[in-house]
Amino acid sequence: MLPLGASIAICAPPIVGTPDGSSFALHSLVVMLNKFFIIFLLTIFSVCVSAEDKDLAKLFEQQGVEGTIVISSLDGEYTFIQNEFRAKQSLAVASTFKIMNTLISLEEKAILGKNDVFKWDGHIYDLPDWNHDQTLESAFKVSCVWCYQELARRVGKKKYQYYFNKSGYGHLQEPFSLTTFWLDGSLEISALEQVEFLKKVYLRSLPFSPFSYETLKKIMFVDQSATYTIYAKTGWASRAKPQVGWYVGYLETPKNVWFFAANIETRNEKDLPLRIKLTRQALQAKGIIE
């Protein structure tokens, strides 16, 4: 089989002219057959590109979880998909919405920067990390729901609708609750759509200022090595049935930028570490990280 991106050259044999014009008819037939053959080959290659990735499928099978992952290069030349059907399925965005929510909140001056402070009101939450004052950066890192609910009140419904329409982000069911729509399933998105959204964020093609993009990138930072830097966000749609665990983001390498979106059907809280574990294993399986 030809490697992806290889050109296909099919040369018709020379046609010797005849007085009755049969050479023209024969030449036309050869050209037509060439076109059909090229289309046939391209169809085969297309199937190969979109077919289920066996390396990635094996990783999910080993963990015994239902899920999907999409990995795509910035230019779209390489895309790897595990469970294409699920990759197209819209699911509750959960805390992955904090990526978009951060951009909107910064743009609308609902918060002024990564070190701007949310004052804790003393309410005791189940997660100890939420029970103190937060900055925008710390709220993003620990997925502080009460912090982003406060931002939602400051932004308002109309502004969310405006940015969703301008950016084509997700699928919002109306009417929706201002402080829970990303948690209760009113706002959904697919893994494929997550990747496309993240590419727009990286390319800064959405209606946000350089300051908003730069601030988001700083708080999305997760990990760095000699060969890559990862920016990402987890999410857990615990109210969904079945529950959904997300890990979405991108990593920069010396030669390329890779985007990923993984989601799994979480049976309980113990499954949550698999979001990041499977993503890292998938990136290793495709030779993107070591």
Would you please indicate which residues are annotated as catalytic (active-site) residues?
95
What number of H helices and E strands is found in the chain?
A: 10, 11
Alpha carbon distance 184, 56 (integer Å): 30
Residue 190 tokens read as 């697919």
Cα 287 to the chain's mean position, in Å? 19
Residue 215 tokens read as 């601030």
> What is the number of alpha carbons within 13 Å of residue 35 lying toward its C-beta?
6
Look up residue 278 and give its DSSP letter: H
- Find all residues with CB under 8 Å of 187, minimum gap 6, and list them: 92, 93, 97, 170, 171, 172, 173, 176, 181
Alpha carbon distance 278, 63 (integer Å): 9
Sheet with 187-189, strands from edge to edge, namely: 91-92, 187-189, 171-172
| Count of C-beta atoms within a 10 Å radius of residue 158 | 8
Alpha carbon distance 36, 30 (integer Å): 10
Residue where the block lists tokens 């990593």: 251
Alpha carbon distance 253, 273 (integer Å): 24
Residue 116 tokens read as 């701007």
Alpha carbon distance 191, 67 (integer Å): 10
